Amino acid sequence: MTARTDEIQEPWPALDGESGRQTVESLKLWGQLVGKTRLALSPMVNHWWQVAFYVTARGLGTPALAVDGRALDLELDLVAHLLVARTSDGRTEAMKLCPGPLAAFYAAYMELLGRLGIAVTIFPFTVEAPERVRLDQDPRVCAYDPDWANRFFRALLAADRLLERFRGGFTGKASPVHFFWGSFDLAATRFSGRPAPPHPGGSPNVGDWVMREAYSHEVSSAGFWPGDARFPEAAFYAYAYPQPAGFEARPVEPAAARWEPALGEFVLPYRAVRAAPDPDAAVLAFLESTYLAAADLAHWDRAALERRAPAQRRPAPARGSTSARSAR
């Protein structure tokens, strides 16, 4: 089915419906296969930045991965609904994103890589998820709604655009805007420059040492994700580690934003963004106010870390007129 033009152009499409929950669960499982491939082929980078996906013009993808003297990139194409693999020697293979058994998807993915002459060994169990699933053996049938998946992609495009804009206001150490396939969220993280106390760990199906690397330094982090069992709706989120005293009680913007105890984070529900007179302004206010709550309470050196816009210079009057504006 071809989406209507007005749907394609809508930057904040609806993300309601049970088919969305089912589609997210499938994308999480399929994304683990692609993500574990990136992990196997990438050198270690601080905070595990080497494992993340990036929002592309068609979905979620990896950068070029070095393998056997070639480069490989992988993409979950949420426009054509394909998993696409491309190599630097001009070869392309693809498989459909569609309902079917998880184990069969795993087998088809390995066959796809095999057709490209790529052999990779991945840990076959899911990580960062409450349920430990063996990807190559689990018989569950994955559901997939292509219309919902494309709407989710368009929401990611809008979120990515604003997170990139927000990231540009910080000159200190900051992560790329990237998508973590384990937690299934688009994130941007700012760093104070100070080390953090060891993270206590406790995340499901992931070693505590992994979390300690991720949170080795003090952060203010924000992003967008489709929700989970604890908070079953899409939302923008923001948190700090370590969390400064009084953080959860700090007033933030816009009015629809709130502290969510089940997550230990501030949230701005996606439905509130869609309903806002200016969705972009609502999201940017949330990102800025939650960052300020973390930075001010934790006494970050904001003057050294933030980009200050140059003072607006008044244009010189045009010759023969009283102002530059009147000359145009």
Sketch the domain layout of the chain as residue ranges: 18-146, 149-305
- Please report the pLDDT score of residue 10 as a whole number: 84
Beta strands in the chain (DSSP E): 54-55, 59-61, 65-67, 70-77, 82-87, 92-96, 100-101, 141-142, 178-180, 185-195, 217-225, 235-241, 258-260, 265-269
Is cis: bond before 232, omega within 30 of 0? no
- Please give the chain's pLDDT, 328 residues, in tens: 444 444 456 889 999 989 999 999 999 999 999 999 999 999 999 999 999 999 999 999 999 999 999 999 999 999 999 999 999 999 999 999 999 999 999 999 999 999 999 999 999 999 999 999 999 999 999 999 999 999 999 999 999 999 999 999 999 999 999 999 999 999 999 999 999 999 999 999 999 999 999 999 999 999 999 999 999 999 999 999 999 999 999 999 999 999 999 999 999 999 999 999 999 999 999 999 999 999 999 999 999 999 986 544 344 433 333 333 333 2
- Please report the pLDDT score of residue 9 as a whole number: 62
- Please report the pLDDT score of residue 309 as a whole number: 65
The pair of three-digit structure tokens given for residue 312, joined into one six-digit string: 């607006």
Is residue 310 classed exposed, middle or buried when 0-12, 13-18 and 19+ CB atoms within 10 A define those classes? exposed
- Please report the pLDDT score of residue 11 as a whole number: 86
- Please report the pLDDT score of residue 238 as a whole number: 98
Query: SS3 breakdown of the chain: % helix, strand, coil, rounded to 5?
Result: 35, 25, 40
- Please report the pLDDT score of residue 311 as a whole number: 46
- Please report the pLDDT score of residue 132 as a whole number: 96
- Please report the pLDDT score of residue 113 as a whole number: 98
- Please report the pLDDT score of residue 7 as a whole number: 47
- Please report the pLDDT score of residue 43 as a whole number: 97
- Please report the pLDDT score of residue 120 as a whole number: 96
For the chain, report the end-to-end CA distance as a whole number of angstroms. Answer: 49
